[in-house]
Amino acid sequence: MQKEYEDRIRKDIGDLGNAANEAYKSRQYDKGALLFGKALKLSKELDDTKLIVRYHLWKGACYVENNKYKRAIAEFTQALSLDISTANDADVFNIMTAFVDVGLSIPTRLEAINKSLKQCSDFIKTKETYWKATYLYIVSDLANLRGDKDKANELIQEAFSVWEKKYSHYIADEYLWRLTKYAIEQKKFAIADEYLAKWDNYKNDFHISRKRYKAKINIELNRAKLKKQKALKVARNFAPFDTDEPDYLITAYLINNEWKPAKEAVIRYICKKRSSESLYTQSSCFTFLGDYHYVVARALLGLPPVDFKYDKPKAFEIIDKITVENDTVKRKRSFKDKLFGQADVQISLKEIKKHLKNAEWAYLRAFEISKEIDQRLECLVNTTETRTRLEYLYKFFDIILGYVPKRDLDFFPERKESINNKQI
């Protein structure tokens, strides 16, 4: 009788698991989480650790896809608290790496992440070779998020080498994407081209994720080469096929002073992402909003587009060329402007002030979130990036509005001098 009951329960678990897998494949993640949860509940009735771990993994995976990171972490934590010696090795490894991956996305505190990485490192010592590649990739990701680019690059190269030895016939897109991105950031374009050629050699299995990686890399490469129009063309061509709200399209619009479509893209992005549990995503919402208002202020004054990563603003563009008379901001024509017959720029001070104040508000919100991220990961990467934007913005405040907000010293207490005395 007991065996019949157990057999029936196992059949129900199998049916629920199959239905949940179908829901996951069709991106019905709420339905998938519900069905995996039911299969998990029945697995607990049987006290089958192997099944319990598996369904914790897949229920958590559904939560990850829905950006419900805290619920995902809870599922992974419950699984890892069990006696996992009888569980499937692949499930255990996937839970360990998923825990760290989600932990980096939130991010959780560095101490918890390092503890999980140590657990993962100990687990894979006698396991599959390619698992080492996955582990190294995650460690590289952590190094990158903490600003250690050299270590991140070294680790990802080792990871890719391990992967190629095991699976020479199958390319790991995320590994090549990271390698290519590091080469571009260091302006090593010849090396970047070599990695791109590796991608081109793999004609098979050309799925949407590979197209996304290649599109983002081509956008990055054109940005680094200051071919901004070409970067925008690539972004526009691929964006309609992307299932997510593409942040790279917003960036491409902004670096080309295409601020009208940028506004629409920023609004769509914020509407979709504002409830995210990831601090990185929350910060990016405010950063994009700040960048939009900063770009509009520059565009209204007839200033060229900028890219904070590869083509930062230059102080001489506004110093000695912009004057404020009554309620009007004037920008004198440069020699190039005169050559092409462009007139002096005149714009309402009220209009410029609105965009500068909105940009400041957004950047300050982003800075607060960045501080929390950096405190958790024990680094200064995110606050430094946001601080740089505020410094350029406050140069505008100084020249156009005649003052630098006093709160800059409150935000940067380690500073000994005012930003308007800083050479940019």
Averaged pLDDT for residues 100-106: 93
**Residue 14 pLDDT exceeds 70:** yes
* Lowest-confidence region among 124-138, 253-267, 292-306, 377-391: 124-138
Averaged pLDDT for residues 394-404: 82
**Residue 416 pLDDT exceeds 80:** no
How high is the pLDDT of residue 124?
87
How high is the pLDDT of residue 420?
37
Averaged pLDDT for residues 155-173: 80
Selected residue with higher pLDDT from 199 and 311: 311
DSSP-derived secondary structure letter, 307: B
- Tell me how far apart the alpha carbons of residues 6 and 51 are, in angstroms, rounded to a whole number: 14
1-127, CATH topology level: 1.25.40
Please, what is the average pLDDT of the chain? Answer: 85
User: Which residue is it, tokens 């390698």?
Assistant: 179
Answer whether 344's CB lies under 8 Å from 331's CB: yes
Single pTM value for the model? 0.86
* Lowest-confidence region among 140-149, 225-234, 285-294, 414-423: 414-423
Answer whether 36's CB lies under 8 Å from 21's CB: no
Q: Single out the residue of 219, 302, 208, 209 nearest to residue 253, CA to CA.
A: 219
Cα–Cα separations (whole angstroms), residue 269 to 42, 197, 257: 39, 32, 18
Selected residue with higher pLDDT from 128 and 236: 236
Q: What is the 3-state secondary structure (H, E, C) of 361-399?
A: HHHHHHHHHHHHHHHHHCCCHHHHHHHHHHHHHHHHHHH
- Tell me how far apart the alpha carbons of residues 343 and 348 are, in angstroms, rounded to a whole number: 16
Selected residue with higher pLDDT from 160 and 399: 160
**What would the pLDDT profile of 229-271 be if each residue is shown by its tens digit?**
999 999 999 888 777 778 999 999 999 999 899 999 999 999 9
Apex 99 CA angle, 95 and 102, nearest 5 = 130
C-beta neighbour count of 215 within 10 angstroms: 19
Is the preceding omega at residue 107 within 30 degrees of 0, hence cis? yes
Would the CA dihedral through 91, 93, 96, 99 be positive or negative?
negative
C-beta neighbour count of 29 within 10 angstroms: 18
* Lowest-confidence region among 127-136, 190-199, 412-421: 412-421
User: 345 pairs with which residues across the strands?
Assistant: 331
Domain with CATH 1.25.40.10 in the chain: 1-127
Residue 347 parent element (H or E): strand 345-348
Return phi, psi of residue 82, to 5°.
-85, 170
Q: Token digits for 10?
A: 């196992």
DSSP-derived secondary structure letter, 331: E
**What would the pLDDT profile of 185-203 be if each residue is shown by its tens digit?**
999 999 998 888 887 776 5
The band of 305, judged by pLDDT with boundaries at 50, 70 and 90, is confident
Edge-to-edge strands of the sheet including 328-331?
322-325, 328-331, 345-348
**Residue 3 pLDDT exceeds 60:** yes
